[in-house]
Structure 1
Amino acid sequence: MSPITTTIIITSLATGTVITSTSYHWLMAWIGLEMNTLSIIPIISKRHHPRATEAATKYFLTQAAASALILFSSTINAWKSGTWDITQMTDTTSNILLTSALAMKLGMAPMHFWLPEVLQGSTMKTALIITTWQKLAPMALMTLTANNLSMTTLILMGILSAMVGGWGGLNQTQTRKLMAYSSIAHLGWMATISTMMTNIMVLNLFMYLAMTTSMFFMLILSKSNTIQDTATAWTTSPTTTLMMMLTLLSLGGLPPLTGFIPKWLILEELTMQNMTPTATILALSSLLSLYFYLRIAYTTTLTTSPNTTPTKHKWRFKPTPTTTPLTLALPLSLFMLPITPLILS
């Protein structure tokens, strides 16, 4: 792909997200979402491979259906209330439709089937964009409409997503699919808290973006497409393998790492709202996710792969990739727990 084409596509991708995040009119929000979707289709299908084409098709169909649902729900609301304002969603039917559409956009259960397949058909860098940047526009809409969305639907979807994200990841050996199920589980936590405390949801989103970005950059750096590949990651960079283990534990939500903050705050808020069964299910489902994070951490740092040659390095020489984004994302994904009071204030 030529530099000019790449620049246009990346700019359109960014512009679409910004338009959706900053608009208060449903048509403008829909236009932003469409720009966003149409920009990432060539990025997914750039690798001329049947899997990439299949992934691009699945992504397009899912996102187009979700965008149509958003337009349909906003039209019904405008018909009933006479306003296209995003914050004035008063019709119950529109709210349930909008909740379902946003869940489909994000890849929450039970509309999650496309996410692991699309990530598996994409390159690591494209998978990084889909799991981080592509979540911003729907989450912005969820934040704007949080007071009006169907609370029961969101909590049920949140619980289901957390459970599916845990169970689905147990049977996987591909790191991209594992990160997809990790994304589904984290979105479940965000959806559960979204109608009660929007600021905790935004904090959770920020933490998730930092942890997922650093994890993907380390997988790209060590060229680890499967769990078996992570066993030889130490030959690329011993420091990276240690950081990978800590990031995985942070994704699992273990103290004293950053990933503990959102889970701690969400469980605290749910128990204060007398939703102890929901909090219990979420906490138990996070144990499932923690299991497959620990599995990667174990193969990465606690096993030594069989060495048939005297050399300690991978046989193929690679150009040294840039690690600036990784150095920015890693401290955020590991060391932010001590400043939790500062974040909350």
Structure 2
Amino acid sequence: MPPLALSMVMLGIILGTLMVTSANHWLTAWLGLELNMISIIPVIAKQKHLRSTESATKYFLTQAIASALMLFSSTLNAWQTGSWDITQLNEVTSILMIPALAMKMGAAPAHFWLPEVLQGSTLTTTLLITTWQKIAPITLLYMMSNHAKSNIMLLIGLLSILVGGWGGINQTQLRKMMAYSSIAHLGWTITAMSITPNIALLNIIIYMTMSTPFFLLLTTTSSKTLQTMTTCWLTSPTTAMVLTLLLLSMAGLPPLTGFTPKLLILDSLVTHKLIIMATTMALLSLLSLVFYLRTTYLLTSTAPPTTTQSTMLWRLKPNHSQTAATTIPIALFNITILPAMLT
């Protein structure tokens, strides 16, 4: 892609997200989401390959359906209440808006497009879809959280955790595995959004902080399948160790950073007398733990004195390594500053 075209596309992605996060009017938010969607489609389809074209088409169709449902529900709300304010929603509009935003984010049961789109995209585009593209719909969900139906939010969150854990177990492609990981983390975020929105924002921010260096290191090592991960330790032990810590952090194991938001969400659920919901979520998170631990086992199983027969398919790229190195400490060790963030 030419530099001028790439700069225009990235400007559209950034401006679209900023329009949504600063909007107080449903039409302004809808325009921001449309600008964001139109800008990222060339990024997905930039590869001269049928798979990338298919991914861009699937992304466009699902986002267009979600935008149409969102526009319909906001128009219905304005017809009934006389207001286009995002924070002023009636019950019917809230019921329609939550599935629209869930489809925008890729939460279950409207998750079908996310693994296929990520599989047909590059690792850099995958990072963009799983992090930056979720900011706008999560912001809208946060702004309307006071009027959202908690039963629907809890159901979508629980279903997303189940689908994310169950779907990721059977994957050997890293991009599809991270897609289901994103769905599972969205489930935790949506569940917390109906009870304690601030903890939900903390959870998604920490997930984005953890997944950014993970995808950057995958780009550095050109790893796309579980088989290619087995040669990581022989070429760069430091990269393998950091990837292992990042995976364990995303799994939510203490004392790493990913454990803190899950603990806070479970504590909030128990405080609101939702003990069965908290127990179910904790048990379903074990499904995600299976494929996280499987990947870490493949990363560390070839550590000395063990050898591997797999062919080394990559070499390190120094520029990407430096970019990833700046975000790794934040992703792994910001647990020490979390109490100050919550007070």
TM-score range, shorter chain: over 0.9
After TM superposition, the structure 1 = structure 2 runs for residues 4-153 of structure 1, keeping only pairs within 5 Å, are 4-89=4-89, 91-153=90-152
Tell me what 1:184 maps to: 183
| Structure 1 residue 318, shift from structure 2 partner | 5.8
The change in CA–CA distance for 1:228 and 1:153 in structure 2 (over 3 A counts) is same
1:331 aligns with 2:329: yes
CA distance in 2: counterparts of 1:157 and 1:139, whole angstroms: 14
Checking the alignment, whether the CA contact within 8 Å between 1:222 and 1:236 is kept in structure 2 is no
1:340 aligns with 2:342: no
The change in CA–CA distance for 1:317 and 1:109 in structure 2 (over 3 A counts) is closer
CA distance in 1: counterparts of 2:11 and 2:58, whole angstroms: 23
Per-residue CA distance 1:6-28 (angstroms, 9 max, x = gap): 00000100100000110001111
CA distance in 2: counterparts of 1:283 and 1:101, whole angstroms: 27
After TM superposition, the structure 1 = structure 2 runs for residues 136-285 of structure 1, keeping only pairs within 5 Å, are 136-285=135-284
TM (normalized to structure 1)?
Answer: 0.96
Checking the alignment, whether the CA contact within 8 Å between 1:250 and 1:260 is kept in structure 2 is yes
Checking the alignment, whether the CA contact within 8 Å between 1:245 and 1:300 is kept in structure 2 is yes
CA distance in 2: counterparts of 1:138 and 1:236, whole angstroms: 40
CA distance in 2: counterparts of 1:40 and 1:179, whole angstroms: 19
CA distance in 2: counterparts of 1:3 and 1:126, whole angstroms: 16
**Counterpart of 2:218 in structure 1: which amino acid?**
L
The change in CA–CA distance for 1:285 and 1:315 in structure 2 (over 3 A counts) is closer
Aligned partner of residue 211 in structure 1, secondary structure: helix
Tell me what 2:2 maps to: 2
| Structure 1 residue 139, shift from structure 2 partner | 0.6
TM (normalized to structure 2)?
Answer: 0.96
The change in CA–CA distance for 1:68 and 1:242 in structure 2 (over 3 A counts) is same
Checking the alignment, whether the CA contact within 8 Å between 2:221 and 2:317 is kept in structure 1 is no
CA distance in 1: counterparts of 2:267 and 2:193, whole angstroms: 14
CA distance in 1: counterparts of 2:122 and 2:284, whole angstroms: 29
**Counterpart of 1:127 in structure 2: which amino acid?**
T
| Structure 1 residue 185, shift from structure 2 partner | 0.2
| Structure 1 residue 129, shift from structure 2 partner | 0.3
Aligned partner of residue 156 in structure 2, secondary structure: helix
Which region of structure 1 is more displaced relative to structure 2, 297-306 or 147-156?
Answer: 297-306
CA distance in 1: counterparts of 2:56 and 2:315, whole angstroms: 31
Aligned partner of residue 168 in structure 1, secondary structure: helix
**Counterpart of 2:308 in structure 1: which amino acid?**
P
| Structure 1 residue 256, shift from structure 2 partner | 0.4
CA distance in 1: counterparts of 2:16 and 2:258, whole angstroms: 29
Checking the alignment, whether the CA contact within 8 Å between 1:186 and 1:208 is kept in structure 2 is yes
Checking the alignment, whether the CA contact within 8 Å between 2:76 and 2:93 is kept in structure 1 is yes
CA distance in 2: counterparts of 1:308 and 1:291, whole angstroms: 23
CA distance in 2: counterparts of 1:75 and 1:316, whole angstroms: 52
Q: Which runs of 5+ in 1 are unaligned?
A: none
**Counterpart of 1:110 in structure 2: which amino acid?**
P
Aligned partner of residue 319 in structure 2, secondary structure: coil
Aligned partner of residue 109 in structure 2, secondary structure: coil
| Structure 1 residue 316, shift from structure 2 partner | 5.6
Checking the alignment, whether the CA contact within 8 Å between 1:54 and 1:121 is kept in structure 2 is yes
| Structure 1 residue 317, shift from structure 2 partner | 5.1
Checking the alignment, whether the CA contact within 8 Å between 1:207 and 1:332 is kept in structure 2 is no
**Counterpart of 2:181 in structure 1: which amino acid?**
S
**Counterpart of 2:7 in structure 1: which amino acid?**
T
Checking the alignment, whether the CA contact within 8 Å between 1:258 and 1:332 is kept in structure 2 is no
Per-residue CA distance 1:305-342 (angstroms, 9 max, x = gap): 52489xxxx46656533334312321122112233321
Per-residue CA distance 1:17-40 (angstroms, 9 max, x = gap): 000110001111000000000011
Identity of aligned residues (%): 51
The change in CA–CA distance for 1:308 and 1:129 in structure 2 (over 3 A counts) is closer
CA distance in 2: counterparts of 1:305 and 1:280, whole angstroms: 41
The change in CA–CA distance for 1:273 and 1:222 in structure 2 (over 3 A counts) is same
**Counterpart of 2:320 in structure 1: which amino acid?**
T
Tell me what 1:306 maps to: 308
The change in CA–CA distance for 1:161 and 1:233 in structure 2 (over 3 A counts) is same
User: Could you say what the CA RMSD is over the residues aligned between the two structures, in angstroms?
Assistant: 1.4
Checking the alignment, whether the CA contact within 8 Å between 2:55 and 2:117 is kept in structure 1 is yes
